[in-house]
Amino acid sequence: MGAVRVSSLAGRGGVECQASRKLGHDGRPAERLARAQAAGGVGTRAARTVEAAQGLPEIRWDPGLPDVVLPEALPWRRRVLKHPRLMQSNRLALLVLMVNLVIFGWGLGNHWWLEVVNVALVTQVNFALGILVRQQFFVNWLSRAVMKVPKSWPLRLRWTLAKGYHLGGLHVGGAVCGTLWFLGLTVVATGEVGLGLLLVYYVQTLLLLAIVMTARPGFRATRHDLFERVHRFGGWGLSVLFWIGAVLLVDERRGAESLPTALAGTPTVWVLVLTTLSSLVPWMLLRRIPIDVVRPSSHVALVRGGRGRPMAGSTRSISRHPLRQWHSFAVIPTPGAPGFRMAVSRAGDWTGDFIDNPPSHVWVRGVATAGMANYGTVFRRVVYVVTGSGIGPVLAHVLAARVPYKLVWVTRDPVKTYGQELVDEILAAQPDTLIWDTDAHGKPDMVKLAYSAYSSSNAEAVICVSNKKVTWSVVHGMERLGIPALGPIWDS
């Protein structure tokens, strides 16, 4: 691995391993090893050789994950809501649906839905909810608000607030319910409005159905490029048609009022103003910036560019062409310098082409947006469990050190893959980092590895950044034990 300093977990103790201290055969300081073995919590399969290389201690080791016994899971009544299918984002989407059902029932009893204007208003409110919770400035405001929560608050409350990044469930709920309401609007409007307005509604219905169908998780995962194009261009088309439809509907019902006066007095129009501005702001900040790209391996490209000081733990979307594919990557501040860094890992055609044929410029839009791991600052101490390029989203938190942490990085040979400079930067910030080289030692049991790091470091929570399967496995594995855990939810 080169001049890399690592530490290893050993049993439940997980004590750091440093070259300057006398080591027991499993990497623990001898005196602490004896106490731990007496307690029956130490595995003895790990073996290491400590050397000095260019002034840095190098530890070559066979981590040999010790025997880790997980505690009993929570009673089923408490752990049922921890299942990935019942995660907070899904529950929020269900909540939006239930609220809309209540409104629908109330409207039926009062014959409110016989009027096209009323149905149009509820439709727009639902779409506004779906759009606003995705707005970059709102996402950043919410993240900052949660980050200010006192750590003296009860852990259960902080755990709940830390799930703020699940608000994407409101986006899904608002979009689905808005679509259902619009279908109802089209039915109610048939025979009640002019032919021109009715044609607008029919075209909108087709666009909405196309957006909803391509946004299904399975379709989005396998044909993301098509989903993105339909979502973007279909959304723009809908925005224009919503304005045309609103003007035509108000014009049909304004009576003796002037059209501008009638528009100003229509609530649906003001909801449209809000959603339109929310959608336009990121594109008003569209710009092309120069970048420098370094490729430490064929697997990853390290990107430098931009100006200013981005928020620690934020993400930013980049594109080679503003009307084509956009991809989000974690933003890593550069110590002592303006701008940002990104780690682009090979994960598909776009990233593969980016690494093989790096551009000199990229497009960016809007502002950097707070990432999931920012919510982890509500805890007193956390464990970051990351695999591969998942180091990118947490590196900013490692460097900022806003909360005490333990870092566990499972990756193929880190120096060969990501470069000596990045590895040295991580170890300089956190010498106690555990680096598990999968090329040398294979893939570990991630749940046991996460629990071992959690129990040995007196942490309050685990934050996992990996692929979908591993992330959900670790998050669910921890939360069913009653341990707070955060991780990406792949809702966009």
pLDDT digits (tens, 9 = 90+) for 283-329: 999 999 999 999 988 888 989 987 777 787 889 999 999 998 899 99
Residue 492 is predicted with a pLDDT of 64
**What's the rounded Cα separation, in Å, for the pair 427 and 454?**
19
pLDDT at 21 over 60: no
Give ∠ CA 382-385-389 in degrees, rounded to 5.
130
Residue 275 is predicted with a pLDDT of 96
Residue 118: other Cβ atoms inside 10 A: 18
**What's the rounded Cα separation, in Å, for the pair 412 and 425?**
18
Residue 23 is predicted with a pLDDT of 26
* Three-state secondary structure call for residue 333: strand
* Three-state secondary structure call for residue 316: strand
Residue 100: other Cβ atoms inside 10 A: 20
Q: Quick one: pLDDT band at residue 65, thresholds 50, 70, 90?
A: low
Residue 63 is predicted with a pLDDT of 52
DSSP assigned state of 110: T
The pair of structure tokens assigned to 149 is 């929560």
Residue 337 is predicted with a pLDDT of 74
Average pLDDT of the chain is 84
Residue 11 is predicted with a pLDDT of 34
- pLDDT 10s digits, 471-482: 999 999 999 999
Residue 322: other Cβ atoms inside 10 A: 14
User: In angstroms, how far is CA 213 from the centroid of its own chain?
Assistant: 22
- pLDDT 10s digits, 330-377: 888 777 777 888 889 888 889 999 999 999 999 999 999 999 999 999
Residue 144 is predicted with a pLDDT of 94
* Domains in the chain with CATH codes: 30-66+371-486 (3.40.50.80), 84-284 (no CATH), 287-370 (2.40.30.10)
- pLDDT 10s digits, 425-456: 899 999 989 999 998 888 999 999 999 999 99
pTM flag (> 0.85): no
- pLDDT 10s digits, 230-243: 999 999 999 999 99
